Amino acid sequence: MTNENYNPQIETVEIGVRQLQDIKIYPLSIADQLKFGDTIKKGLADFFKNASNLKSDIAVASFAVDLVKDSLPKILGFVIEDPKEADKMLEDITNVQASVIANIIYDNNYLEASKNLKGLFEKMKSLFQSERPLQSSVDNMEDIDSSISSDSATEKEA
C-alpha cells in the first residue's frame, strides 16, 4: 500500500528541464500553513516597506526576484519529502512546473478548506436564526389615521 492510499491529497508532479522525474507534493499541516502564511506576509511586508524606494521597474523586478529566490525554497520545503533538497530541486523546476505545484498547494490546502468552512458557516448561521420573525419595533410602525373624536360638538341627549 502506498502513501497515496493513506492520504489522497498527496500528488505526484513531473519536474525537470532535461529529464523528467516524479516528485510528491504533500499537503501542509496546520503548523506549516501558519509558517507558510508568515513567509508570504513577510515577503509582502518587505515589499510594501521598500516600495517607496523602488523608483524604477528594474528595481521592482529585482526586488521581486530576490523575494522569490528567498521564499521559494522555504515554500517548496513545506511540501516535499526532504526540505533540505528544496534548493537543489529548484534547478530542475521550470516556471510552468512551479505554477503547477503552486496550484496544487493552493487547491489542496486552501481552496477545499475555504469551501468547507463556508459550508460550516452557513450551517452555523441557520442554527442561530430565530424560529419566528422578531417583533417589529414600535418606532418602525406607520402612523395610523384614526378619528376617534370629532372636532364638532355633539348634541346632548335628553
Helix (H, G, I), strand (E, B), or coil: what is residue 28? coil
pLDDT tier for residue 156 given thresholds of 50, 70 and 90: low
As beta bridge partners, residue 24 has: 12
Q: CA 99 from chain center: how many Å?
A: 17
How many C-alpha atoms does 11 have within 13 Å on its Cβ side? 17
Percentage of the chain surpassing pLDDT 70?
A: 78
Q: What mean pLDDT comes out for the span 104-129?
A: 85
Coil, strand, or helix at residue 131? coil
Q: CB neighbours of 75 closer than 8 A, spacing ≥ 6? A: 36, 39, 105
Give the residue with greater pLDDT, 40 vs 17: 17
- Record the cell numbers describing residue 30, joined without a space: 496546520
pLDDT digits (tens, 9 = 90+) for 24-66: 999 999 999 888 888 888 888 887 887 777 777 777 777 777 7
The more confidently predicted of residues 43 and 86 is 86
Cβ 65 vs Cβ 57: under 8 Å: no
- 44's CB contacts (< 8 A; 6+ apart) are none
